[in-house]
Amino acid sequence: MKYLSRKDIEAIGERVTKAYFRLPDLTGKTVYKITPDKLITDLLGVNLEYHHLSLDGSVLGLTSSYGVVTYKVFDYADEESYCYLDGKTIFIERDLNEDISQIGRCNFTKAHEAGHHILKILFPKEYGGDNRKLHFCLAHPPKQRKMDWLEWQANAIASVILMPKEVIMRALFLFGFGERVKMINKVYATWEYEQFSSMAVFLGVSKTALSIRLTQLRLVDKNYFGNPYDLTDIYCDGGI
């Protein structure tokens, strides 16, 4: 497996984004958001299918990097049947795709699975023969003692292809921020937080994902998304 740095991931994202902008029906147009379905089918040439991937909803998405793999699904009144992954197909949980309140999570799941295919396309020797037959995206991933670099890379690629800097910059101006967000804080900067939330909905991503991406791109001055009261908390350095 090839170990990619954050800089490598950003370069891959730029490459994928430029190719997306050059799609026939987007050439010459201003793109305000990335549609993962279009990126997957039109740019990568990968099929998208929707199934009930588990009885308890724990499996959000999965794909196979190569070859034919059978997978048990539960599409008909929770009765099991089998579908085939051919190395050019992504399965997404049907309930996740149909739940409008989960659009950010659904889009990120699609982009995550697309990330595996992007890695295979760019680095066929390193990833084309990956001995891991299936790549899962789980609702509650188990805590692992060692970093799963393959899944980390897929997550990182998902972030940069859903939220490329060019698209984020356009959204910042569209939602009245100018060149950057001064503060994300739902308690002490309510207007900014409402605009930030609307921007996430517009881009089709979660607020958490957008908050992280803005920090990565250094486009937010003060980010209190995780703890709005951290702005006023007083910390003791020790002593009596």
> Per residue in 173-208, pLDDT tens?
999 999 999 999 999 999 999 999 999 999 999 999
Residue 235's pLDDT is what?
42
Integer Cα distance of 15 and 18 in angstroms: 5
β-pairing, 47-51 vs 89-93, is: parallel
Task: State CA 239 to chain mean position distance.
Answer: 45
Q: Are 183 and 189 in contact (CB under 8 A)?
A: yes
Residue 224's pLDDT is what?
95
- The parts of the chain modelled with pLDDT lower than 70 are 1, 128-132, 144-145, 232-240
> Per residue in 32-46, pLDDT tens?
999 999 999 999 999
Residue 240's pLDDT is what?
46
Residue 172's pLDDT is what?
98
Residue 236's pLDDT is what?
45
Q: Tell me which amino acid residue 25 is.
A: D
Residue 125's pLDDT is what?
82
Residue 181's pLDDT is what?
97
Residue 132's pLDDT is what?
60
Tell me the whole-structure pTM to 2 decimals.
Answer: 0.91
Residue 39's pLDDT is what?
98
CB under 8 Å to 193, separation ≥6 — which residues?
184, 185, 186
Residue 177's pLDDT is what?
97
